[in-house]
Amino acid sequence: MKILLDEKALHDGVAGMARQIELAYEGRHLTIVGVLTGSVVLMADLIRLIQLPMRVGVIQASSYRGATTERGDLIINSELMIDISNRDVLLVDDIFDTGHTLTRVIEKMHEFEPSSIRSAVLLKKEGRVEVDYTPDFAAFDIPDEFVVGYGLDYEDMYRNLPYLAALEQNDLEEHAALSMNQR
């Protein structure tokens, strides 16, 4: 794997984004909603860094299934989400790629009538956006590569890596061979 962001760079970028969020919500209560499952590491770090009164919840959204790097149909499950009506909401997600997932989740969340919704992402992928939307907060811009680590996965693996890495072709082949041996 090719390491794109090491642990220190990730920490510094997330801490910088946390400061921006604090300034934007200064003097207000915040409801942070993380998009499962990719945002859990980012959300855990953010809620420890942001020094504001807050509530924390999750929403489930997924558009990737199995051994694919191609987007499929988006499934959104809001049953796990806390009450967001009349609240200032910060939606936290791992990556802003084409933008379809984030914009659809925001549309869904508007049904619950929050006072406001802003978004924060760990990564904005360069050259992939297909929607007319930009996240309010982003820690990093990255090249158009398939990345894992710090919550991001490939076939539900690699989320635990403390750094962000790009999967290369030999990594995919190695992963496929290991997966075949475990079946």
The letter for the amino acid at 110 is: H
49, 14 in Cβ contact below 8 A?
yes
* Nearest-angstrom CA–CA distance, 42 and 119: 13
SS3 105: helix
Q: What is the spatial order of strands in the sheet that 88-96 belongs to?
A: 75-77, 54-62, 30-36, 88-96, 116-125, 137-142
Quick count: other Cβ atoms within 10 Å of Cβ 48? Answer: 10
Tell me if residue 97 is catalytic: yes
Q: Which residues of 120-158 are buried (b: 16+ CB within 10 A; e: fewer)?
A: bbbbbbeeeeeeeeebebbbbebeeeebbbbbbbbeeeb
Q: Which of 45, 93, 94, 97 is catalytic?
A: 97
Q: Quick one: angle between helices 40-49 and 7-24, nearest 10?
A: 60
Which two tokens mark 104? 């659809």
Point out the residues that are catalytic.
97
